[in-house]
Chain A
Amino acid sequence: MKTKFSKRIELALADSQLRMNFRGAMDFLRNKRQLAFNDVEEWQALRKKGAAIRQDAIQRLPELLTQLEHQCQQNGIHVHWAENGDEANKIILDIAQQHKAKQVIKGKSMATEEIELNDYLAKHDIECIESDMGEYIVQLDNEKPSHIIMPAIHKNTAQITDLFEKKLGTSTPSGDVDALIGVGRRILREKFEHADIGISGVNFAIADTGTLCLVENEGNGRLSTTAPPVHIALMGIEKVIPDIQALPTLQRLLTRSATGQHITSYLNLISSPRKQGELDGPREVHLVLLDNGRANISQDEKLQSTLACIRCGACMNHCPVYTRIGGHAYGSTYPGPIGQVVMPQIKGLKQEGELLDACSLNGACGEACPVEIDLPELIRTLRHRKQENSPAFWSKEAFIWFVWTKIHQHPWLYRQTTLLMAVFRTLDLNYPRGWARTRTIPKAAKMSLHRQVRERSKTKKKKENE
């Protein structure tokens, strides 16, 4: 049973090390992104282009997915459709069992986190090793990613040194990042060699050529998708784009927004299994298309822009809430603003609706989004939906707004209320309990503006008459 979100927030805020790790990392990432987009006009133009590509793709989702399926099949890629996480897990397990697989190596993929694939395969005696360095660290500590791009960003080098020592028996000089990477590389190389299956996510799938694009920095994605004899790619259905002409724009937006890089270290374009006469590459490639609520989102005019997301993480890097509590406090696959928007839609407002509260609607996320997703507006809309779907007339908050509306609908009543507040000179309805946590309680003025304006015009008239 999960603790309440508000409780998890309190715990995260009490962890000063965690807060320092996040603040430092987020400031660093924000500055790097700022430098990568220092030409404002170029950024605006690129962003417009990227947004248009993604919006068009979401509008034409069924058509593009059919085309993608057809083209992939033409290329010799097996295509599977999964309506939800369970189905996707079963499809992947089936393929693994057909190949009597015991060892799976995985490139970084948030979609596999969404369906909790590692746990599912482990239950069926298949070990799934993460090959992205951050994911590997998180897996080693039995944790979940705290950021969609940098899964282990909540840990500093000293903490990782300790973890490696405890779990792997290594001893590297504290704070020596290269030594730590060396350890990971040595262990993972062996796993690449012996893995029966490689699993990856997909950053973009090109419909008209049936090509899967994988953007990564460590080369682990390339190894995961080429060294093992079988490659399974899992993608949310929204990741489809029409053609390769759309790729450079999105790719530029993605890497600059995510890490401030002008270009990624590895761009993998996977269009088929090993062909006759070729010396390497997997003998089988599978593409699993995951819906998990996305088709419904695409039908909702007010919320469909959720699907335009290219998973760069800029919204969380710019969010003042995420910057302070980190990813784990959200208790969800996707944290931060995009998580607050995605999770209630794929898991239901009842289960994940509480995520929506942790937002001041300051707009920093929407401003940073490289594909112009109006995240604050989506959060606001979902808050409205939450009330409309389960109107809790008896809740304290609903009652407060009921009374509030009555007062503000009747100017006379409103003026009497401000008058009363002026008399008592305090707004203590026990409501500002949370407010009083770090602030004194504001005192109402002796005379409201309404009254002062009335008196002012009276004096003016008097003067004119004299």
Chain B
Amino acid sequence: MLNSLPESPQVYLFGTCLIDTFYPKAGLDAIALLELAGYEVVFPQAQTCCGQPPYNSGFKAPALKIARQTIKLLSSKDIPVIVPSASCASMIKNHYPALFQKDTSDAQLAHNLSLRTFELIDFLADKLPYGQQLSFPHCKVTLHQSCSALREMGVASAWRAILEKLNNLEICFPENKQECCGFGGTFAVKSDAISAVMTEDKCQNLMATGGASILSGDMGCLMNIGEHIKFEGQADPCLHLASFLVKRFGLNHED
């Protein structure tokens, strides 16, 4: 499919509502990386949220409405949809098709979109010009593999692989690296007591690695981790993988 496209192929960026409102820099960095990899990025201004928050909270009807709208929005061009979050990517890729009755036109569109949807870092892993990276002094970073990256999307190994291609970089993992950080969307608010303890444990393990930055491809986890570390009176060391890569490739854009 992609072979038949023009020289500078297009991709959609589904920015996610969290990045849109709180961390737009991660979204701009995603665009910069996609452009570096030779893509023209289409960012539909009508995009909002993927619908995962109500979907996971037990409210299927709102999720269905938002899914219909998002599917329509991302189906006017038959091009890849890139999502800078494993969690939101999984909603579109794995859960949208299950929302609709089999053999309906909605289900077909959802299925088609599912096949075209990729998590950003996984999509970029074999497409970046690693030869063009700047050289940096030795540096230690800690990778937080999100649950969605590890399990539903299976892209955690790609996150690691992309970091391994960078020069002078030592990659650390926290103890209990497979364990959830305690975010879980509305879980952090609804089951606040247990979520708080999970978050505290995760942050302690992450900080114990001594990495200069905590990197991940899921801004939800990073918001949870970063805001807790700030709560403890320390500076937020979290950075989206896209933002880290942008620095490594010396791509500057105005904030």
Interface on A for B, CB 8 Å cutoff? 6, 9-10, 13, 320-321, 324-325, 356-364, 366-367, 380, 383-384, 386-388, 397-398, 401-402, 404-405, 407-409, 411, 414-415, 418, 421-422, 431-435, 437-445, 447-450, 452-454, 456
Look across to chain A and name the residue whose beta carbon is closest to the beta carbon of B180. Answer: A362
B178 contacts A by Cβ under 8 Å: yes
Interface on B for A, CB 8 Å cutoff? 15, 17, 19-25, 27-28, 31, 43, 45-49, 51, 53-62, 65-66, 69, 147-148, 150-152, 178-180, 182-185, 187-200, 223-224, 227-228, 230-231, 253
CA distance A360 to B148 in the complex (A): 11
Q: List 8 A-B contacts (CB under 8 A).
A: A6-B191, A359-B191, A401-B59, A409-B48, A449-B24, A449-B28, A450-B43, A453-B31
Look across to chain B and name the residue whose beta carbon is closest to the beta carbon of A419. Answer: B21
| Interface pair A398/B59, CB less than 8 Å apart | yes
Look across to chain B and name the residue whose beta carbon is closest to the beta carbon of A414. Answer: B48
| Interface pair B231/A439, CB less than 8 Å apart | yes
Task: Report A-chain residues with C-beta under 8 Å of the C-beta of B20.
Answer: 418, 448-450
The residue in B58, B192, B223, B230 that gathers the most chain A C-beta atoms within 10 A of its C-beta is B58
CA distance A360 to B197 in the complex (A): 13
Task: Report B-chain residues with C-beta under 8 Å of the C-beta of A366.
Answer: 151
| Interface pair B58/A364, CB less than 8 Å apart | no
Look across to chain B and name the residue whose beta carbon is closest to the beta carbon of A447. Answer: B24
Known: A437-B196, A438-B196. A405 touches B66 (CB 8 A): yes
| Interface pair A6/B56, CB less than 8 Å apart | no
Contact pick for A357, options B47, B66, B190, B196, CB 8 Å: B190
Known: A404-B62, A414-B48, A431-B189. A445 touches B23 (CB 8 A): yes
Task: Report A-chain residues with C-beta under 8 Å of the C-beta of B55.
Answer: 380
B174 to chain A, nearest CB (A): 13
| Interface pair B22/A360, CB less than 8 Å apart | no
Task: Report B-chain residues with C-beta under 8 Å of the C-beta of A432.
Answer: 189
CA distance A387 to B64 in the complex (A): 14
Task: Report B-chain residues with C-beta under 8 Å of the C-beta of A325.
Answer: 194
| Interface pair B45/A9, CB less than 8 Å apart | no
Contact pick for A361, options B56, B182, B198, CB 8 Å: B56
Known: A438-B200, A449-B19. A401 touches B65 (CB 8 A): no
Task: Report A-chain residues with C-beta under 8 Å of the C-beta of B65.
Answer: 405, 409
| Interface pair B15/A364, CB less than 8 Å apart | no
Task: Report B-chain residues with C-beta under 8 Å of the C-beta of A421.
Answer: 21
CA distance A418 to B230 in the complex (A): 23
- Chain A contact residues: helix, strand, loop or mixed: helix
| Interface pair B194/A321, CB less than 8 Å apart | yes
Task: Report B-chain residues with C-beta under 8 Å of the C-beta of A422.
Answer: 21
Known: A405-B65, A414-B48, A438-B196. A384 touches B180 (CB 8 A): no
Contact pick for B188, options A9, A356, A398, A435, CB 8 Å: A435
How many A-B contacts at CB < 8 Å in the complex?
179
Task: Report A-chain residues with C-beta under 8 Å of the C-beta of B15.
Answer: 449-450
Contact pick for B60, options A388, A415, A433, A456, CB 8 Å: A388
| Interface pair B58/A411, CB less than 8 Å apart | no
Given A444-B22, A448-B20, A449-B24, 19 additional A-B pairs, CB 8 A: A360-B147, A362-B179, A363-B147, A363-B150, A364-B151, A364-B178, A364-B179, A366-B151, A405-B62, A411-B46, A422-B21, A431-B189, A434-B190, A437-B192, A439-B224, A439-B227, A439-B231, A450-B45, A452-B24
CA distance A443 to B223 in the complex (A): 10
Known: A13-B197, A438-B200. A401 touches B54 (CB 8 A): yes
The residue in B25, B46, B150, B227 that gathers the most chain A C-beta atoms within 10 A of its C-beta is B227
CA distance A445 to B58 in the complex (A): 29
CA distance A104 to B59 in the complex (A): 48
Closest 4 interchain pairs by CB?
A: A360-B184, A434-B192, A383-B58, A362-B180
Known: A6-B193, A321-B194. A367 touches B48 (CB 8 A): no
CA distance A6 to B178 in the complex (A): 25
| Interface pair A401/B62, CB less than 8 Å apart | yes
A398 to chain B, nearest CB (A): 7
| Interface pair B45/A360, CB less than 8 Å apart | no
Known: A357-B190, A445-B23, A450-B20. A363 touches B43 (CB 8 A): no
Known: A383-B57, A383-B58. A445 touches B151 (CB 8 A): no
Task: Report A-chain residues with C-beta under 8 Å of the C-beta of B185.
Answer: 360-361
Known: A404-B54, A435-B192. A440 touches B227 (CB 8 A): yes
CA distance A358 to B193 in the complex (A): 10
Task: Report A-chain residues with C-beta under 8 Å of the C-beta of B53.
Answer: 404
Look across to chain B and name the residue whose beta carbon is closest to the beta carbon of A398. Answer: B59
| Interface pair B183/A418, CB less than 8 Å apart | no
| Interface pair B45/A411, CB less than 8 Å apart | yes
A38 to chain B, nearest CB (A): 16
Task: Report A-chain residues with C-beta under 8 Å of the C-beta of B60.
Answer: 384, 387-388
Task: Report A-chain residues with C-beta under 8 Å of the C-beta of B22.
Answer: 442-445
